[in-house]
Amino acid sequence: MTTKRGFTTTILHDDRLGKPEHGSLHKPIHTSVTYGHEDVQDLVDIFQNKKKGYAYSRQGNPTVTALEHKVTNMEKGMASIAFSTGMAAISATVMALIKHGDHIVASSFLFGNTRSIFQTYTDMGLDVTYVDATDVQNVRNEIKASTKMVFVETIANPATQIADLEAIGDLCAEKGIIYVVDNTMTSPYLFNPIDVKASLIINSLTKYIGGHGNALGGCVTDTGLFNWIKFPNIFETFKKQVKPETLGLTQIRKKGLRDSGGTLSPEAAHSISVGAETLALRLERASNNALALAKYFESHPLIKKVFYPGLESHPQRERAAKLFAKFGALMSIELDESIDCLAFLNKLKLVVKSSNLGDTRTLSIPVAQTIFFELGAEKRAEMGIPESMIRLSIGIEDLDDLMDDFKTALA
Ligand SMILES: *Cc1c(COP(=O)(O)O)cnc(C)c1O
């Protein structure tokens, strides 16, 4: 953290802090793959973690560093590492820190691809237990000697369950377990997981932070709260090279980013940095649109159920109101049996039928037929996913236009 300025002011002026070339307001896009050094000792020192600098762009690039700095500021963290996608950030973080036989407790409402990579790691010797993380007791019951990590999301997709974030943070702090919070759905504008004692924060930059559906990216932020020196999976060579507080990210950069190769391109880093400048404005507007639409849907006879944390009917509404600045822009609706879900979606003219979320535009997708199709009907029922569920990622369009589109389609 460099200043005590507000959220948006800090992001807007972050690139000028490093005295950029020609007074450029944006960090330039550095496309060089490799970096030459006058004195070879500098290159040696960079390799040996004795000096900060750039050697080869797979492990670090100035344009990407500028974005990492912004995410760190937004998350009030210590430092961050950016990746090519949110999935790259998640898979590399787990790969770098977890060994064969280690145990992870994870939310059973995880993002589908996160669950999929956890399954792949399970096939390679990781032990994962999935629990309903809306109640800390379920997490506590599964902690054992080999538990190295608890992994949760803030607001689950598509049914919007909210993890017992504060109590799980206390539990992990008490037990000395790495607490990973995927903050994608709330973004650092609505919520900072450091406030619930998270050790590591994941953000898919593709979603709200980039915000325009034009670049993929991911990030992991170390809050500085976890004591890495006591963590048994840290490599001895790193312990000799770097300060104890930077051990976690050093291992994620070297063993996770370098070895997986999930590197963010400088062009994408630039697009995401520009997007991040308006995160607060976009999410204010999209959250307000979402709350108004959720109330309208809830009062509509053809809509059976609305899943949105801002509604009185939501089981964790109080938790959301306490922790988050707004209730976010993601919601799901369950249609009445009398309506065909796909026919209804085809009646929408403005709302885009598309996956992804966190775009400036409102996006809609039938859940059972697409993102939860692979699971099958039985598993969907088990997870509380109705067959006529539609997920909506509300955008920043004018509210009247969105209302008109839904009203016409429901008429
Ligand atoms: C989209 C998403 C991811 C993955 O991000 P990508 O950038 O698409 O790889 C991870 N977690 C959550 C909660 C997401 O919504």
User: Residue 16 carries which DSSP code?
Assistant: G
Q: What is the pLDDT of residues 33-87, one digit of tens each?
A: 999 999 999 999 999 988 999 999 999 999 999 999 999 999 999 999 999 999 9
Instruction: Choose among 225, 193, 188: nearest CA to 205.
Output: 188
Q: Does ligand 1 have an atom closer than 6 angstroms to the CB of 216?
A: yes
Q: Does ligand 1 have an atom closer than 6 angstroms to the CB of 330?
A: no
Least confident of 147-161, 240-254, 368-382: 368-382
Q: How does strand 352-353 pair with strand 330-335? A: unpaired
What distance in angstroms lies between residue 271's CA and the mean position of ligand 1's atoms? 17
Q: Partners of 151 in the beta sheet?
A: 106, 180
Q: Is the pLDDT of residue 355 over 80?
A: yes
3-class secondary-structure state, position 364:
strand
% the chain with pLDDT above 90: 93
Average pLDDT over residues 265-284: 98
CA distances 203 to 144, 167, 191, 254, 257, Å, are: 28, 21, 12, 19, 15
pLDDT of residue 18: 76
**10 Å Cβ neighbour count for 152?**
28
* Range 244-277 burial, b when 16+ CB lie within 10 A, else e: ebbbbbbbbbbbbbbebebbbbbebbbbbbebbb
Which atom of ligand 1 is found nearest the CA of 87?
9
The CATH homologous superfamily of the domain defined by 279-410: Aspartate Aminotransferase, domain 1 (3.90.1150.10)
Q: Where are the domains of the chain?
A: 7-276, 279-410
Which atom of ligand 1 is found nearest the CA of 206?
7
Instruction: Choose among 105, 92, 183, 115: nearest CA to 144.
Output: 105
Q: What tokens does 260 get?
A: 């997986």
pLDDT of residue 1: 45
Q: Does ligand 1 have an atom closer than 6 angstroms to the CB of 204?
A: yes
Which atom of ligand 1 is found nearest the CA of 153?
13
Q: What is the pLDDT of residues 187-223, one digit of tens each?
A: 999 999 999 999 999 999 999 999 999 999 999 999 9
Mutate which of 87, 154, 371 for ligand 1? The one with the most ligand atoms within 8 Å of its CB, which is 87
Amino acid of residue 314: H
The residue whose CA is least distant from atom 6 of ligand 1 is: 86
If 0-12 CB within 10 Å is exposed, 13-18 middle and 19+ buried, where does residue 374 land? exposed
What distance in angstroms lies between residue 223's CA and the mean position of ligand 1's atoms? 20
pLDDT band at 16 (very low <50, low <70, confident <90, very high): confident
Q: Tell me the longest C-alpha to C-alpha distance in the chain.
A: 74
The residue whose CA is least distant from atom 10 of ligand 1 is: 86
**Separation of alpha carbons 397 and 286, rounded Å:** 8
Q: What is the pLDDT of residues 76-127, one digit of tens each?
A: 999 999 999 999 999 999 999 999 999 999 999 999 999 999 999 999 999 9
- Taking the CA atoms of residue 70, residue 71, residue 72 and residue 75 in that order, the dihedral angle to the nearest 10 degrees is 130
What distance in angstroms lies between residue 185's CA and the mean position of ligand 1's atoms? 9
Q: Does ligand 1 have an atom closer than 6 angstroms to the CB of 218?
A: yes
What distance in angstroms lies between residue 102's CA and the mean position of ligand 1's atoms? 24
Which atom of ligand 1 is found nearest the CA of 217?
7
The residue whose CA is least distant from atom 8 of ligand 1 is: 86
- ∠ Cα 266 217 24 (to 5°): 35
CA distances 250 to 68, 236, 239, 341, Å, are: 14, 12, 10, 48
Question: In the CATH scheme, what architecture does the domain 7-276 have?
Answer: 3-Layer(aba) Sandwich (3.40)
pLDDT band at 271 (very low <50, low <70, confident <90, very high): very high
